[in-house]
Chain A
Amino acid sequence: MRHVFQSLFYILFTLSISWLSLPAKTVVEAFEEANQAYTRGDSILKKSNNPKEAENDFLTALRLYNICLEKAESPALHRNLGNTNFKLGKIGHSIYHFRQALQLSPSSEEIRANLQLARKTAKLPENKESLYEKTLEKKSPHVWKWVLAVTFWLGVAILILPKYFRIQGPVFSTLGILLLLLSMIPLWAILQSGKVRNLGIILEEDAPLLISPTPESAVANYLQPGQEVQLTLNSPSKTHIFANTATGDSGWLPKQLVGHIHP
């Protein structure tokens, strides 16, 4: 009996190692611990000027942030993941997370600044901001959808209802039409924000753009981390995704080398 118990302990112990290592933390706890690990790493980096010494802390932070990301996401989480990856030299992942953070919180100037810095570090060409990016992109599509709803329904109401309250004159009609026209602006903003639906970010260095979706395929070009590509999301391949680059190249990318920006 005792021997049986003892042998069972060893088995249970071995099994429990894997169980104990499972993340049992809440998202908030993991986020908090990751922040602490990052701050420690940053502090060590500043004191010693040696990235190697801080690497363990940054890796701990990255692991904990990724635990959070499995369960939930927030602009702060993506921003911190961007920072951590940047500190670890993973520029592609860093740009990807900053881009995700910006998608969630377009008004954040800090995220925008970090994204620009990461893009600069990756030696990517400076983005020429479109009119939309300069103006309406600063607000989230969630804001614009409510602006659209309010202006549209207000316009409809002002255009239709006054005559049923025996209010005559061109003021309300003009105002109604004006509001309906104004509602086109948030509608345009929403349509523009949907353009990132197919946006992908190259995560690793020298990601091969393949001619066919097989590992043995010839390489059409090599893409660099942080580079933006347009993805064909309904690609038939399970391992590869079809992508078009800004320079006109197109081909298949291994899925693990590209991060898809969710609209």
Chain B
Amino acid sequence: MIVKAAVGNRIYFLFRRYCYILLLFLCAIPAGLIQAQTAKSRVDPQIAAKGQRASYKVTLQGVGSPQPVGGSLPKVPGLNISGSASTSTQMQVINGSMRRFVTYSFPLVGEKLGTYTIPAWDMTFGNRIIKVPATTIKVVDTDDVFNGIFQLELHLDKSSYYVGERISGKLQLLVREGVEASLSGLPEKIGDAFVQKEFKENFWKIAPEVRDGIRYDMATARLTLTAIKSGRQSLQYKVPINVRVKNRQTRFRDPFFDDFFPGRNQYKTVTLETNEKSWEIKPLPSEGKPDRFTGAVGQFEASVSFSPSQVSAGEPVNLKLQITGFGNFDRIQAPKLESTEDHKVYPPKIEFSQNTTAPEGFGTKTFEYIIIPKHEDADTLMGVPFLFFEPKQGIYVDQTQRPGEMVVLAPPAGTQITHFNEPVVHTANSKAPQEEPQDARKLLPIETNPGKWHKPGERSIWTPAFISAQITSLALISGIFIVRRRQIQLDEDSQFRRQVQGTKEMRAWKQKTEKAFASRNVEDFLDSARRTLQISVSKELSSSEAEALTFDSIREHLESQNLEEDVIHNAQALFDAADLLKFGGADAAGLNLEDLNNSLNSVLKALK
């Protein structure tokens, strides 16, 4: 009896479990049946070459099993749409409900170039009539099929900007629907007239886009730029993408098998570039530019506060400057507050918070200074300068803040203010910190001024400037030494002076000789040659004037120098020729000028 009851219970529980499953299944069918019957249409590919076979696809949702369809398929001049459709079904489970899609593909061939819209039409499905929406196809030349398959566009919000102004823009990458592509790197800016803020994480936003009836997947990246050069400045971007392409090497003769065994796909990297565009970048006006302007550009509001309002001398006061607005916050530098006799100022702590509820570019920048009043009379805090350029109006705005007064009390007993590198130094009577090493207190503070920077490890004292200075010094002293020594020698040594002057004169006569030789003037040549020889010899002799030297004197000198007989002969030939021409009435045409010139040169060479 007990066994029977147990078996009965088990059957009951099994029955109950399967009843639930059956109930769920039965509920799912009407849910599918009561789905709205809708249709979508598209042409695949959207842009086809003239004569290329495409498919006009009508997808029905919520119609159950495929059935023969009817209705009047639209006729579009220029397109040949065949009525014999192939059918495919697809099931999808979305949020627990099952959906069935039935797709009818009608073969289509574009016969003429152009953009065609297949109009909306009524399709009969069993005894139901379903409205099929219109769709577009573009028929192009075979060469143009891949034109515009990828597009990279750059859009900035205005046509002109000021230097330093925040620029909002966007980079749009359009990839024609159905093309498999992926980004393979960050967008790269071309051009040095703009600086760009780093991209945030997940900076690409993707959305479908339809342009001229063609569907694209559009990725948009927001850009934040700042112009740094004035004038007409161009800006371009390039983006590398990986595109999936089919390996063209087919392994089968029949394309059916290639479709069935599609082979390996390859990814190729393509770099897209935006068209070259330029923008007018205006320099910040020099007229009315305040001296203390540090480069902030935008629309800002500044406010200042400090706390506590009552301190003892030597205790820190937090002075907070808050700048709220829109613009290039990166360019807002900390206002320079100098330490005075009344206050010691420490470098500020800088914070920036983006306004999350407002568009990008709105935010608040805070500069928090620690200021220490040095004595009880230091109750007036210094002004905090803040100036910026407002690009909409094109003016400079001065929003210098005056914090007002605070109460400064005398330092408490037992506290001694020594120097203001450390805010307050406790005396031995005051409670010393327990955990901090006592030595650390004696450590002198950091240096806030970085001083002169130089490359690490470059400490050689023999710098180029130093070496150059030594060479210059050496040259200067040597130069003075040489010049002065020569001047003294010229003053004191008549033989040296004679030689120097003789050399100068000889050079002058030699030049005349060369001139006469060039102009083929034999008379001048011989006259100059004789004088050249006379001077060359006379500068070595202390007693003779050059003009008075006869050939005999010259021969005597040449022989004393142990020169070869040929040299003496050449000198004589020159003197003889000169005498013959001048006094003997010889014909100049009968003299060989080349020989005479060679003779002169050989004598001068030997004399050197």
Contacts and interface: CB of A to CB of B under 8 A. Distances in A.
Among A24, A146, A190, residue most surrounded by chain B Cβ atoms (within 10 Å): A146
B199 A73 contact: no
B24 interface: no
A158 to B, nearest CB: 10
Contacts of A220: none
Nearest to A7: B182
A145 interface: yes
Interface in B427-480: 433-437, 439-440, 442-457, 459, 461-462, 466, 469-470, 473-474, 477, 480
A62 B586 CA distance: 101
Contacts of A35: 347, 446, 448
B446 A83 contact: yes
Given A35-B347, A49-B435, A141 B461 contact: yes
A237 B186 CA distance: 43
Contacts of A190: 461
B327 interface: no
A97 B457 CA distance: 13
Contacts of A86: 440, 443
B217 A8 contact: no
9 contacts: A1-B175, A6-B206, A8-B183, A12-B183, A32-B347, A72-B455, A83-B445, A86-B440, A121-B439
Closest 8 CB pairs of A and B: A49-B433, A164-B484, A76-B447, A72-B453, A4-B182, A80-B446, A153-B473, A74-B451
Given A2-B217, A5-B206, A35-B347, A103 B459 contact: yes
A157 B477 contact: yes
Contacts of A6: 206
B455 A39 contact: no
Nearest to A79: B447
B485 A73 contact: no
A46 B423 contact: yes
Interface of A: 1-2, 4-9, 12-13, 16, 20, 24, 27-28, 31-32, 35-36, 38-40, 42-43, 45-46, 49-51, 69-77, 79-80, 83-84, 86-87, 103-105, 110, 113-114, 117, 120-121, 141-142, 145-146, 149, 153, 156-157, 160-161, 164-166, 190, 262-263
B6 interface: no
A116 B186 CA distance: 52
Contacts, number: 154
Interface string B144-159: 0000000000000000
Contacts of B199: 16
B453 A27 contact: yes
B350 interface: yes
Q: How big is chain B's contact interface, by range?
A: 35 or more
Given A20-B198, A31-B450, A114-B443, A5 B183 contact: yes
Nearest to A144: B461
Given A70-B456, A76-B447, A262-B459, 10 more contacts: A2-B206, A5-B204, A8-B183, A43-B316, A43-B423, A72-B453, A80-B447, A121-B439, A157-B477, A166-B488
A146 B445 CA distance: 32
Nearest to B421: A110
B453 A39 contact: no
A39 B346 contact: yes
A198 to B, nearest CB: 15
B180 A39 contact: no
A74 B477 contact: no
Contacts of A145: 461-462, 466
B177 interface: yes
Among B184, B461, B470, residue most surrounded by chain A Cβ atoms (within 10 Å): B461
Contacts of B473: 149, 153
Contacts of A83: 443-446
B444 A113 contact: yes
A190 B460 CA distance: 11
Contacts of A120: 439
A45 B436 contact: yes
Contacts of B485: 164
Nearest to A4: B182
A18 to B, nearest CB: 12
Among A2, A4, A45, A83, residue most surrounded by chain B Cβ atoms (within 10 Å): A4
A4 B484 contact: no
B481 A160 contact: yes
Contacts of A12: 183, 186
Contacts of A38: 446
Among B434, B448, B455, residue most surrounded by chain A Cβ atoms (within 10 Å): B448
